[in-house]
A and B are shown apart, each in its own frame.
Chain A
Amino acid sequence: MSKEQISGADALMRSLHEEGVDIVFGYPGGAALHIYDAIFNQQHIEHILVRHEQGAVHAADGYARSSGKPGVAIVTSGPGATNAITGLATAFMDSTPVVVISGQVKSNLIGTDSFQETDMIGISRPIVKHSFLVQRAEDIPSIIKKAFHIATTGRPGPVVIDVPKDLTDPEYKFDFDYPKGVDIRSYKPAKEGHSGQIKRAVKLLLEAKKPVIYSGGGVIQDNASSELTKLATLLDFPVTNTLMGLGAYPGTDQKFLGMLGMHGTYEANMAMHNCDLILAVGARFDDRITNNPDKFSLSAKKIHIDIDPASLSKIIDIDVPVVGSAKECLDQIIEELGVQSHKIDHDKLKPWHEEISAWKEAHGLNHKLLDQKPTGGKILPQQVIQSLYKETKGEAFITSDVGQHQMFAAQYYFFDKPRRWINSGGLGTMGFGLPAAMGVQFAFPESDVACVTGEGSIQMCIQELSTCLQYGLPIKIINLNNAALGMVKQWQDMNYGGRHSSSTYEDSLPDFVALAESYGHVGIKVKKHEDLESAMKECFALKDKLVFLDVDVDPNEHVYPMLEAGMSMEDMHLSKEIKTW
């Protein structure tokens, strides 16, 4: 049977279809026009036209994070490619599977400073897991196959495919044959952990009197939440999650300590500092967790499970490193514990649980703020999150931007399920929230999707309100409006004598209600505490509409707890007045 002859552009779309892609986010332009014609001529894949390429990559990222399937963005050369860079860096820092296809100028023009030419491979090199410059049209199917394999396996990450325009020329056709499998000799990510290391880990787990499980985004990426929960239950160990790991362990469970690190809970940070064993899974001991590495949890033995060998002993020396997927390794540990189940002794952990409960009682977050009328008159940002939690019954997908609102959302919304909390943890990208929410809403059209944001962040990708109108996305934008770059201002309050250098713009903010309405959406303004809950209710009652809920919150509120720089994890500011050291 003779194979079908198709063009490079058609081969590109066919390959994406072969990979199970049914949606791509993008923006056309000269170098990508052949590809866009191929998009027009096929039925399997829906193309979502964003308003800025950064939005395309964030949307693909949000789609990937919520669904677990790779997200795809298509951009043109030059400015299209450079606009995608922030999205790529965001995906890279949080290890999410995103494939970005960038048009490139014709092969014979590369290197000649031609119109809309930029060295996409060069510019994106440090922020991609891998990249491909297509050199022959016939290579497109095998490159797509490899790109998806690389993006989704091992430690996931973004992959760029740069396609010169001549290689998608509709006049040049070749035999299309999609590869069945993929074999890259230099890329064989580990799955199972080394059995000797698993045994060593189990020995430490059984000996521990003051253990903590510290789990991160890797558990979510690897769909290992149920294994994590099973292990914690089996051993009766307390669990803390990183910002990226929220939802990997049920946020409402008694054994959950909340988030740890920079703005982690008192009990989580105290437990990390005072424990005798840390089981780290799919987390990377980054600076927002450890604070000063020289003072980090000095009395604890450390077990670290990670798919990326380079994460092990990178910052903190590890006693038992285990290279492997979170799911496989946790399963192996559970299995080994099954063999040695007679050695599991919950009673000896009792004093530790009591110690943790005392911490929680002393300085735990106040989760009953909502019913209290704020003394300063202004709504507290935490109350907005609690109201959101109450209204959505903890079931919504929550995306966020970056700053105080992000931390308040992480602290006060309990995520019982993985992939519900979508935020830019590693790169800290303002502008991520709204386009990410679009990706989530496309992945889950029937679910409530809320973007918790601030009036600073939302303006960084506000143009996507237009995309939301075009595709009828009923996202709920919860804007914690404190008329300032809150986190910057907080640092300036704490470390720069209250000099608010370029962190306020009160007189020049748009009327967000009118702005939302001008895009055909609904805008609701909330100024008073007594209106908050009814407005939140109204917001989610409008099932088919995007609602921009603009809430004036107390501009003087700070995020606490907060680790003191250069010190250990137990050195925290607990409020403007109270610190632990």
Chain B
Amino acid sequence: MKRTVALLMENQPGALSRVVGLFSQRGYNIESLIVAATEDSSLSRLTMTTTGDQKVIEQITKQLNKLIDVVKVLDLGESDYVERELLLVKFLHESVNKEVIKELNGEIVFENNELLNIQFVGTSKELDQVLKDLESSNPLEIVRTGASGISSNLKTLTI
């Protein structure tokens, strides 16, 4: 089962390595990881997707909470939430059909005579599908950010 866990941690050296280290140390999977400073510069927000049954996810959140640098943890999968990921794909001009890009809600973010960079935003699942649909257009390069998420209720991950 895929789950998205978000957390706030102290924005200081070493904090991220403790979080990432915890996963390898305890044998948990990280499918994707995304981290950036928040509006409060003393905090970073990290979102990760991981896999495991309910018991594993519970252990992951508890172990994360134990890290001194971790301020707050939210298992987004506990309630409704919005998940978005950014996908950037590079194509040669001649290999891509702009109509198809449009149908897939892609946005051209760079274009010259030779190539196109196209941006897609969606859930990770949607982006998986987009990549499948684009397979025949022979993308030159694909980059995904990993999913970020925000809960769809009044439960906020703030301090």
Binding site for B on A (CB under 8 A): 121-122, 125-126, 129-131, 133, 150, 184-187, 308-310, 313-314
Contact = CB atoms under 8 A, between A and B. Distances in A.
B159 A185 contact: yes
B17 A186 contact: no
Contacts of B71: 185-186
B25 A310 contact: no
B62 interface: yes
A309 B17 contact: no
Nearest to A131: B14
B59 interface: yes
Contacts of A309: 62, 65-66
Contacts of B58: 313
B66 A186 contact: no
Nearest to B13: A133
Contacts, number: 38
A244 B99 CA distance: 69
Contacts of B55: 313
Chain B interface residue number, banded: 20 to 34
Interface of B: 9-10, 13-14, 17-18, 21, 25, 55, 58-59, 62-63, 65-66, 68-72, 159
B21 to A, nearest CB: 5
A407 B131 CA distance: 60
Given A121-B14, A186-B10, A150 B68 contact: yes
A69 to B, nearest CB: 21
Contact of A308 (B9, B66, B70): B66
Contacts of B21: 125-126
A398 B71 CA distance: 40
A313 B62 CA distance: 11
Given A121-B14, A310-B59, A186 B68 contact: yes
Contact of A310 (B9, B17, B66): B66
A187 B68 contact: yes
25 contacts: A122-B17, A125-B14, A125-B17, A125-B18, A126-B21, A129-B68, A130-B68, A130-B69, A131-B14, A133-B13, A150-B68, A184-B68, A186-B10, A186-B68, A186-B70, A186-B71, A308-B66, A309-B62, A309-B65, A309-B66, A310-B63, A310-B65, A313-B55, A313-B58, A314-B59
Contacts of A308: 66
Nearest to B8: A186
Contacts of B10: 186
Contact of B25 (A126, A184, A314): A126
3 A-B pairs with the lowest CB-CB distances in the bound complex, closest first = A310-B62, A186-B71, A130-B68
Contacts of A314: 59
Interface centre among B58, B66, B71, B72 (most CB of A within 10 A): B66
Contacts of A122: 17
A186 B11 CA distance: 12
Contacts of A186: 9-10, 68-72
Contacts of B17: 122, 125
A131 B12 CA distance: 12
B49 to A, nearest CB: 21
Contacts of B59: 310, 314
A129 B67 CA distance: 8
Contacts of A184: 68
B65 A133 contact: no
A123 to B, nearest CB: 11
Contacts of A133: 13-14
Nearest to A129: B68
A122 B25 CA distance: 13
Contacts of A185: 71, 159
Interface centre among B13, B21, B55, B62 (most CB of A within 10 A): B62
